[in-house]
DNA sequence: AAAAAGAGAATGATCGTTCATTCTTTTATG
DNA sequence: CATAAAAGAATGAACGATCATTCTCTTTTT
């Protein structure tokens, strides 16, 4: 029966919508109260469905947390890809960074990021999800830095672990910094990032830049 | 009465010891289960005292958390002071960093650090403690960077917010990186730190360094 | 004997999860 | 096309466990 298939599909769509509803509500609750502080009943209330019904879509609270971590990781992955996918020159990377900065500096994002990583320290399933994302990030960055260096004929061909680690430290430190210093001017972060990007992507230009700054006051 | 005074003092010492007992136990529990995951009964068991007795020394669970955050902040402050207090040259700073790195890379430390910052996003009292520490850190770093730059006659006199923010991003990113990538070689972190320290403390030397690396492969 | 230290059961709230039940939609049958 | 039966969606009360906190009681010290 054709009709049967259509109904099945419609059901799946609705189920997906329901799942998303739960995840959105959970995300808001977790942001306000943390993974363990938030309760299923409050999540249910926010998702506008009954407690028991959530268990049709998720086996447990932990399953919700993991699904949410995966979704957020995917978002971060997409963000980084947008930042670098079509970038071949340093200027493009910095311009992209300028546009993408608000998302990275978002306080809610930072809060859940910290929660995720804190939980990863004690839940190996969550750690596994994050570790996989970390691997993807490293690959993406390696590819980008190599590409930009090649096209701009600047810096060594081989991108070392140290270089990538420095960039990642910078990216992931943001969450803690934003939480600690929420009223710090965004342009400070942006300039810091530009400086690091320059140092990594175009060592010569960066060298001249710091030298100039040094000469200015020394 | 002289005796009375002595007894009073002895009592205080014992009370302090008790308090420390609770904090140590709480620290271990929080590390394993998070602030909200850990229970008073398990903390009490670990501290080897009854649940009710803990409430003689702390008003509530939140008070314990705050005291612990303060203690950890003080530890971090001492660590940074040890790193930089007597350092006047770049070489000393890097040597200190090499010695101090294991403490910074400690997984348990990183886990509680993340927990603290995640909690700060929803508990303003904890946020206040961390913000104060942040301010101290910034002052310390500003003083250090200025001092080293002066003695080595390298880099601009004025230490900008951007420079400090870059260093702090690096320092605080470590917690997330260690959690995500626990089996990464420590030397990678150390080298990354050295690179950033060089770039911040001795722009000229750093510039030559990157240029050399660039020349090697380009 | 007075005071402080310590223990642990009691309290009421809340937790994650399950369960019996009721609506609502789909399918099969006349 | 209408309607009975089956399936799916949704509810919220009930469960046992555990939570942070308090209270009463005993032991130890002064």
The parts of chain A modelled with pLDDT lower than 50 are 1, 210-218
What is the value of pTM for the model shown?
A: 0.92
The rounded distance, in Å, linking the Cα atoms of A110 and A113 is 5
* pLDDT tens sequence across A171-192: 999 999 999 988 888 999 999 9
Check: CB of residue B157 under 8 Å from CB of residue A218: yes
Q: Does any strand C atom come closer than 7 Å to the Cβ of A1?
A: yes
Query: To 10 degrees, the CA torsion angle through B153, B155, B161, B163?
Result: -120
- pLDDT of the residue at A201: 81
Question: A-chain residues within 8 Å CB-CB of B120?
Answer: 179-180
Q: What is the 3-state secondary structure (H, E, C) of B86-136?
A: CCCCHHHHHHHHHHHHHHHHCHHHHHHHHHHHHHHCCCHHHHHHHHHHHHH
Which residues in chain A are closer than 8 Å to B168, comparing Cβ atoms? 173, 177
Round to whole Å and give the CA distance between A211 and A184: 27
Low-confidence stretches of chain B (pLDDT beneath 50): 1, 3, 210-218
Q: B1-58: which CATH topology?
A: Arc Repressor Mutant, subunit A (1.10.10)
H helical segments located in chain B: 2-37, 40-47, 51-54, 61-84, 90-105, 107-120, 124-151, 161-180, 186-201, 203-217
| Any strand C atom closer than 7 Å to A3 CB | yes
The shortest C-alpha distance from B203 to chain A (Å) reads: 6
Q: Where are the domains of chain B?
A: 1-58, 63-217
What letter does residue B181 receive in the DSSP assignment? -
Among protein residues, the one whose C-alpha sits closest to the C1' atom of C14 is A39
CA–CA distances in Å: residue B130 to residues A30, A173, B10, B109, B137: 21, 15, 33, 15, 10
pLDDT for the residue A205 = 57
B214 and A158 in contact by Cβ < 8 A?
A: no
Q: With an 8 Å Cβ cutoff, are B199 and A199 in contact?
A: yes
Beta carbon of A160 within 7 Å of strand C? no
Distance CA A43, CA A51 (A): 8
CA distance B73 to B12: 23
The distance from CA A85 to its chain's CA centroid, rounded to whole angstroms, is: 16
B43 in Cβ contact with B26 (< 8 Å):
yes
Is there a contact between B111 and A118 if contact means CB atoms under 8 Å apart?
A: yes
Q: Is residue A153 left, alpha or beta, with left meaning phi > 0 and alpha meaning psi from -120 to 50?
A: left
Radius of gyration of chain A (CA): 21
Q: Where are the alpha helices (DSSP H) in chain A?
A: 2-37, 40-47, 51-57, 61-84, 90-105, 107-120, 124-151, 161-180, 186-201, 203-217
Please give the interface size between A and B, counted as residue pairs whose CB atoms are below 8 Å apart. Answer: 209
Optimal mutation site among B166, B176, B188, B218, interface A, most CBs of chain A within 10 A? B176
Q: What angle do CA B182, B188, B190 make, to 5 degrees?
A: 105
User: B112: how many CB neighbours lie within 10 A of its CB?
Assistant: 23
Cα distance between residue B208 and residue B217, in whole Å: 15
- Report yes or no: A165 and B180 within 8 Å, Cβ to Cβ: no
Cα distance between residue A178 and residue A189, in whole Å: 10
Q: Do A170 and B172 touch (CB under 8 A)?
A: no
Task: List protein-proximal bases of chain D (any atom < 7 A from a CB).
Answer: 8-14, 18-24, 30
């Amino acid at each position: 029966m054709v009709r049967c298939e259509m109904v099945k599909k419609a059901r799946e769509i609705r189920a997906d919508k329901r799942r998303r509803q739960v995840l959105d509500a959970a995300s808001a609750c977790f942001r306000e109260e943390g993974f363990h502080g938030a309760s299923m009943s409050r999540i249910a209330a926010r998702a506008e469905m009954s407690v028991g019904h959530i268990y049709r879509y998720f086996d447990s609270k932990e399953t919700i947390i993991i699904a949410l971590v995966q979704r957020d990781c995917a978002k971060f992955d997409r963000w980084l890809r947008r930042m670098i996918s079509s970038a071949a020159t340093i200027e493009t990377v910095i311009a992209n960074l300028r546009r993408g900065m608000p998302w990275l500096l978002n306080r809610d994002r930072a809060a859940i990021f910290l929660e995720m990583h804190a939980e990863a320290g004690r839940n190996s399933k969550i750690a596994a999800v994050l570790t996989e994302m970390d691997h993807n990030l490293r690959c993406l960055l390696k590819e980008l830095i190599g590409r930009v260096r090649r096209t701009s004929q600047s810096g060594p061909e081989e991108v070392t672990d140290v270089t990538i680690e420095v960039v990642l430290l910078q990216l992931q430190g943001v969450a803690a910094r934003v939480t600690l210093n929420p009223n710090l001017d965004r342009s400070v972060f942006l300039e810091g990032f530009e400086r690091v990007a320059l140092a990594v992507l175009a060592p010569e230009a960066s060298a001249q830049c710091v030298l100039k700054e040094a000469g200015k006051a020394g």
